[in-house]
Amino acid sequence: MATDIVVPHLGDSVLEATIIKWVKHEGEFVKIGETILELETEKANFEVAAETSGVLKSIGRGENEDVEVGDVLGSIDTSSKPAETAEIKQPKTKRNAETKTEAKNLSDEVKATPVARNIANQSNVDLTEVKPTGLENKITKDDVESHIQSGHNQDKISDTATESISSELFPSLSQLHSNREKRVKMSRRRRTIARRLKEAQNSAAILTTFNEIDMSSVMEIRKRRKEEFKDKYGVSLGFSSFFVKACIGALKLFPELNSEIQDEEIVYKNYYDIGIAIGAEEGLVVPVIRDADRKSFAEIEQEVKDFALKATDGTLTLDELMGGTFSITNGGVYGSLMSTPIINPPQVGILGLHKIEQRPVVVDSEIVIKPMMFVALSYDHRIVDGKEAVQYLVKIKELIEDPEVLLIEG
């Protein structure tokens, strides 16, 4: 008896996915609950587990194929036992080059991000030969691409990539262009990011206002309390918790920035779910700190740390990426001095943080050097007026420059 493997429910509003890789191969015995394949959705990676034990009888959809919820991906023969399994077969993929089963199994055991593994599969790269540079000795997308560019994979390129001597001496125009360009299909997440950013610009009236903040007080607190804080809570005291707390304090004064438009109504949120933008291999992701107003500095710092690790590993869940009432993004970690962040619909505001630089400023009629940060607030002018936007950013400035107020005012 055969049981179909189907694309399961992937979360609210998520209808499509892309097959990253098959973990199990045709003819291999699988136990109920074991991961059979990995999918990439617009929000997170998703593991499909076997709903019954048996032999993977067939694989109907290959790696890199787009599929929809309910699509049949293959089947499991539930009448077979482990001893009856046939020789393991390679899964069907879109690439022509194939490696031996033993080599593939070794590659599967190597620690690598889903994106890195996907690129390796497409380019026929043996992950055991790639030098890892990621967290916990994990291979990243950049590691695989560097390996390919260095020429280590040259001997494994398919025969069609190596032309005869005459074609090497007299290459065609198409060959010349192929050597100067590289075409890579956009991942589902990158396509979604591109679509949502364009939708945000088309549907909202986005404006940005700027200010600058003297970071001296926060930096002094961090320097004075960092060792004690880490010993007590097991996590470093960063800037994230200060800005999350400051955003919430300002949102309570300017609730328009913690709202959204639904048809012809404005929905004001009486809770504070703060999205934290994190750069991942496949683009920006925005996991959400739920009820951030009820959490301590340490709890906020721990969640941000966990989100960063999960973003690197590609293990953020759909629940962690859903919703959010306001967002914070920090281009300063990449060296950005100033930028105009794009809001994350249906939210109507996002705070952009930037690089801290020592700059001359005037204090009490004297020029002094201070660690300054430019901050930017992008907002939807359909709900938020310029006056409220400016005052909101001024409040952020006041709270960060006098962080004790964060404790006094909660």
Q: What is the pLDDT along the chain (410 residues), one digit of tens a residue?
A: 889 999 988 776 677 888 888 999 999 999 988 899 988 887 778 888 898 899 999 999 988 888 888 899 999 998 876 654 445 555 554 444 444 465 555 656 778 877 777 778 777 888 888 888 876 678 887 788 888 877 655 555 444 444 444 444 555 555 555 567 877 777 777 777 787 778 788 888 999 999 999 999 999 999 999 999 999 999 999 999 999 999 999 999 999 999 999 989 999 999 999 999 998 877 788 999 999 999 999 999 999 999 999 988 888 888 898 889 999 999 999 999 999 999 988 999 999 999 999 999 999 999 999 999 999 999 999 999 999 999 999 999 999 999 987 766 65
385 is a catalytic site residue:
yes
- Which residue in 183, 300, 328, 160 sits closest to 237, CA to CA? 300
108 is a catalytic site residue:
no
Q: Is 189 exposed, middle or buried (0-12, 13-18, 19+ CB in 10 A)?
A: buried
Q: Out of 2.40.50.100, 3.40.50.720, 1.10.10.10, 1.10.3720.10, select the CATH number for domain 2-180.
A: 2.40.50.100
Report d(CA 235, CA 139) in Å as an integer: 25
Report d(CA 146, CA 308) in Å as an integer: 23
Pick the catalytic residue: 4, 108, 142, 381? 381
Residues of the chain with CATH 3.30.559.10: 201-408
pLDDT of residue 277: 94
pLDDT of residue 194: 80
pLDDT of residue 94: 47
201-408, CATH topology level: Chloramphenicol Acetyltransferase (3.30.559)
Report d(CA 274, CA 276) in Å as an integer: 6
Residues of the chain with CATH 2.40.50.100: 2-180
Pick the catalytic residue: 4, 108, 385, 402? 385
